[in-house]
Amino acid sequence: MIKIGSILLISLMCSTSIFAEQPKLVPHPIHLKNGQQFSLNLPANYEIIPAAEGLKRVRFFAKSPDGRMFVTDMYDLSDNNKGSIYILDEWNPQTGKFSKITPYLTGLKNPNSVQFYTDAGGQDWIYIAETHQLTRRKFTQGEIKPSAKSEVLATFPDYGLSYKYGGWHLTRTIAVGGNGKIYVSVGSSCNACVEKEQVRATVLEMNPDGSEQKIYASGLRNAVGLKWIGNFLFATNQGSDHLGKNKPDETFYALKANTDYGWPSCYSAGGKVFADPKFKRASGCKNVPSPYAYFPSHSSALGFDYFDDPNTDDTIKNAFLVALHGSTDAKIGHGYKIVMMRKGQKLETFMDGFLVGKKVNGRPADIYKIDANSFYFSDDRGGVVYYVRKKD
């Protein structure tokens, strides 16, 4: 759990105007082991290093209780059982690279997220989210392969890409709450529809052993980014695709228990809630909350982290860094960047260059804060984990 003070509470929930305008971005050359060369643009006082290469559809990070970095890999865009969890090992802070990548677990069904939890008795657990299930295992510090049998805590619809009325959203994301609960997001089965399965388009809450499962929040088409920060469960959420090029917003919420966020009947545009004429409902949209923040339509907001350390550089201080994975149709061109988001302020770009004309140089997926001025992010198109840090 991340401890939170009154200063963080104020900066999270209120707008502020003490920060500089959009920082100037400069090209940083990238040279990958596979021969690819391009530039990514970020502030001049930061550097970017390919820290781990040769992965496939690398996704979300978690730090184990023994301090090692774990990352999921969904292999490709198909509905498959070729996914893996890797240990990014032998970190060299001078070079900014991992010298070893160890397969921890293979043969997984689209693993998007992994998390760790230590119970009141001191036992460590590893939680793994696949399309069809949430499992956990006892975790022994230092292990490079699972040392215990898995327990199935929850099962999910897994019709995948051939699902009879849509076939969307293979990812499941885990968040460990500071309140001792486990949260899992389950995306919708379709672009926009009235679901036949109650668990779709929700975030679930449960005890660490899987008991007392309930729907914590509903009406979330696909809350891929899910993280407990301070006293809040934050989520990114992807809007529907049938309302044109410039709406709806991709949204960001500090989720509240037992709240309906509107999908498919309601959507956000410019931060305001509107009714979708194709999916009218008797209750309307008057009780649907406006988002905490919002992003350009079809930009696919995914992973994020929050930078609040007293020593954090002013460029990113008291800001969420959010990975905008990018529109599936590159012609739309929205996203393909990492943005800085502060409540009530205009979005600022921290990094771009992932899409240049028709050329896609990468698609950022998750962000993991290491310390006050450095972080990892995953590129699930290039199979690369990058390290970004402020220069001394």
Cβ atoms 318, 10 nearer than 8 A: no
Q: Angle CA(327)–CA(159)–CA(105) in degrees, nearest 5?
A: 80
Question: For the segment 323-342, what is each residue's pLDDT rounded down to a tens digit?
Answer: 999 988 888 889 999 999 99
Cβ atoms 303, 323 nearer than 8 A: yes
Cβ atoms 54, 382 nearer than 8 A: no
Give pLDDT, residue 160: 62
Please give the domain boundaries of the chain with CATH numbers for all domains: 28-390 (2.120.10.30)
Residue in this structure with the two tokens 């978690």, named with its chain if needed: 62
Cis bond before residue 248 (omega within 30° of 0): yes
For the chain, residues with pLDDT lower than 50 are 1-10, 15-19, 165
Helix (H, G, I), strand (E, B) or coil at 13: helix
Give pLDDT, residue 278: 93
d(Cα 1, Cα 69) in Å, to the nearest integer? 17
Give pLDDT, residue 161: 66
C-alpha to C-alpha distances, 151 to 78, 133, 138, 264, 299, nearest whole angstrom? 26, 10, 9, 33, 36
C-alpha to C-alpha distances, 337 to 18, 319, 327, nearest whole angstrom? 24, 15, 11
Considering the entire predicted model, what is its pTM? 0.93
Give pLDDT, residue 363: 98
Transcribe 139-205 into DSSP letters: E-TT-SS--S--EEEEE----GGG-TT------EEEEE-TTS-EEEEE--SSSS---SSTTTTEEEE
Give pLDDT, residue 390: 97
Cis bond before residue 264 (omega within 30° of 0): yes
